[in-house]
Chain A
Amino acid sequence: MRRRGNPSLFIGLILTLLVASLGIIGVLHSPYDPEAMNLMQRFNGPSLEHPFGTDHFGRDMLSRVMMASGTALSSALVSVTLGALAGIALGTLAALAPRWLSTLVMRLVDALMAFPTILLALMAAAIFGRGLLPSVLAVCISMVPSFSRLTQAMVMEGRERLSIKAARAYGAPAWRIVIFHMFPPVLTRLVTQFTSAIGGAVLLESSLSFLGLGVQPPSASLGMMLSEARAYLLTYPWQVLPSGITLLVLVLGLNLLGDGLGSLLTRRSADGL
């Protein structure tokens, strides 16, 4: 059955690319030094020189937003990649290991799932301390349970397929079966999960930095910029707009991209089978 186009994918791609290009351009060249203070130019409204205005230290908000978007996206990518790899490994282990071990692993995953994500991330922050690296680790850990559950379910399902049974009958080693026979057909679901997880990771990382546990000053992060703007909420309320809108657009874009990719890939694989 042919369906109308895929607006989620299209809009999501545009929004994500918009913020991503801000971040990439920011790495190569930003209009001002994002950390350069200019106390004569505090709280300037949007102008040609400073399209997003300046903050309480007179720093150019556009440059800071650019720097922060780059950090947000790259740290989310790193933490979701690491979390996904760990989760996939754990899930595969749980699916193939002897029963007692797999029960133990899956119960541990259940236990991790029983933690509210923000609590898990905050606890990781309590253990690892503050800063970019600890917050990446914290987000990474919170990504592990969902990936390991998905992988475990998929491998268990895959075990019953005829092609897998045939491969096993030929005497192929377990790792070979998993990597070459089990993963390719389920890759679409993993990719979908991966994309959707990145939006959540950006949100979680920015929450941590809003609470002062992520990226430390003077570096910029979207969450921290908002927590700085909060101090001037009564006098300069528009200060919450540049970083907030960027964050919303980025997460919305990533979520839509995940949804769109999901419906695209499941439709493809459904057609293919």
Chain B
Amino acid sequence: MFRQLLRRILAAFIVMFLVSLATFAALEVVPGNAAIVSLGTEGNVEQLAALEAQLGLDRPLGERLFDYYSGLIRFDWGTSSYYGQPVWTLISQRLAVTFPLALASVLLALLIAITLGTVAAVRKGGVVDIISRSLVQLASAMPSFWLSLLLLVLFSSVLRLVPMGGYVSPAEDFGAYLNSIVLPLSVLVVGETGPLLRLVRSSMLEAIGEDWYTAAQVKGLRKGRVIVSYALRSALTAPLTSAGTQLAKLLGGTAIVESVFALPGMGRLFLTAVEMRDLQLVQGIVIFVSFFVVLMNLVTDIVLRLVNPALEPDGGGL
């Protein structure tokens, strides 16, 4: 158990190292370095040289790579050229908007997926099964930006229930905060529920097919009890792992929703960074999100193994 744990942690560190190296390399091959990009069209050769010296771009590759890693470890992720603020400060500010949204959407999606998925599996081919599967198909084909626009038309333009967009901090006015996130939250839930529901249904079907399920029924336990306290427990491993990853991925994956609803979150920050070619910020966000994904995978893996020691020693990829 302990050795496995060490191996998993080591593997996670290797992935993080490769991600950061890949990010560094990717931005190294960008046509025009950070100095050229931030000067734009107004700048002469002297200014360029000065800025390059200031950013340290004129130094050899190895030295810059060393600086890059020592900065990463000290949480000194450089300064955004567009905002003029430290990258780490920007990320932590925007996280306060995106994280609650991402967490709430994954939890809601998980709740819906577990309920509907269990019923769909237990009554396979029944009404709930057919309807939920059709809805999953529809939801997975639904472009999130189109759904966002439709919801905006219906709920803010026609029914005038919520504002057209914008963000109110929960500390300021909690009711207004809820109003400002209810539509983006719904769009995210629609996107997240589909894959989770599929997973719950398929692993539930698998659990129901097991011998111990039949044994428990033969023993005379009530069906509801067998489903909830036996089958569901063993069937939840895959959906929970996936929910952990989805949560982490949402930290960078909400760009579209945040852009439609004008929420000042991580996704919008990343979008601005890409549009303004603020490479330092792009790098910082990519590294942050991917580190979070890797850590989240590690944590869910460890927790699930503690809960269910019978899990295979090397299951579940990353």
Mark A residues whose CB is within 8 Å of B.
Answer: 107-108, 110-111, 113-119, 122-123, 125-127, 149, 199, 203, 206-207, 210-213, 223, 226-227, 229-230, 233-234, 237, 240, 244, 247-248, 251-252, 255-256, 259
B11 pairs with A107, CB closer than 8 A = yes
Interface residues on B, range: 35 or more
The answer to whether B149 has its CB under 8 Å from any CB of chain A is yes
Residue of B18, B146, B255 with most partner-chain A CB within 10 A: B146
The winner among A108, A111, A226, A233 for most chain B CB atoms within 10 A is A111
- State A42–B99 Cα separation when bound (angstroms): 42
Interface segment among B103-111, B135-143, B179-187, B207-215: the answer is B135-143
* A244 in contact with B146 given A108-B22, A122-B255 (CB within 8 Å): yes
Nearest Cβ on chain A to B307's Cβ, whole angstroms:
24
B272-296 contacts to A (CB < 8 Å): 273-275, 277, 279, 282, 285-286, 289-290, 293-294
Tell whether, in the assembled complex, residue B294 and residue A255 are in contact, meaning their CB atoms are under 8 Å apart. no
A248 contacts B143, C-beta separation under 8 Å: yes
State the main secondary structure of chain B at its contact with A. helix
B127 within 8 A of A: no
Tell me the complex Cα distance, A255–B249, Å: 22
Residues of B with C-beta under 8 A to A212: 275
CB of A207 within 8 A of CB of B256, answer yes
The interface residues of chain A lying within 8 Å CB-to-CB of B274 are 122-123, 125-126, 213
9 new A-B contacts, CB < 8 A, other than A107-B18, A244-B150, A255-B140, are A107-B11, A115-B289, A119-B255, A119-B286, A123-B26, A226-B145, A230-B260, A234-B164, A252-B137
Contacts A113-B318, A122-B271 given; does A255 touch B282 at CB 8 Å: no
Which residues of B from 114 to 173 have beta carbons under 8 Å from A?
A: 137-138, 140-146, 149-150, 152-153, 157, 164
B199 → chain A, closest Cβ, in Å? 15
Query: 1/0 per residue B1-40: CB within 8 Å of A?
Result: 0000000000100110011001000110110000000000
Known: A119-B252, A229-B149. A252 touches B19 (CB 8 A): no
Query: Is A240's CB under 8 angstroms from B289's CB?
Result: no
Check if A256 sits within 8 Å of B14, measured CB to CB: no
Task: Determine which of B152, B252, B293 lies in contact with A118 in the assembled complex, contact meaning CB atoms within 8 Å.
Answer: B252
Q: What are 22 A-B contacts with C-beta separation under 8 Å?
A: A108-B22, A110-B317, A110-B318, A114-B290, A115-B252, A119-B253, A123-B26, A123-B286, A126-B279, A207-B144, A210-B145, A212-B275, A223-B145, A233-B152, A234-B157, A240-B153, A244-B143, A248-B141, A248-B142, A251-B142, A255-B137, A255-B141
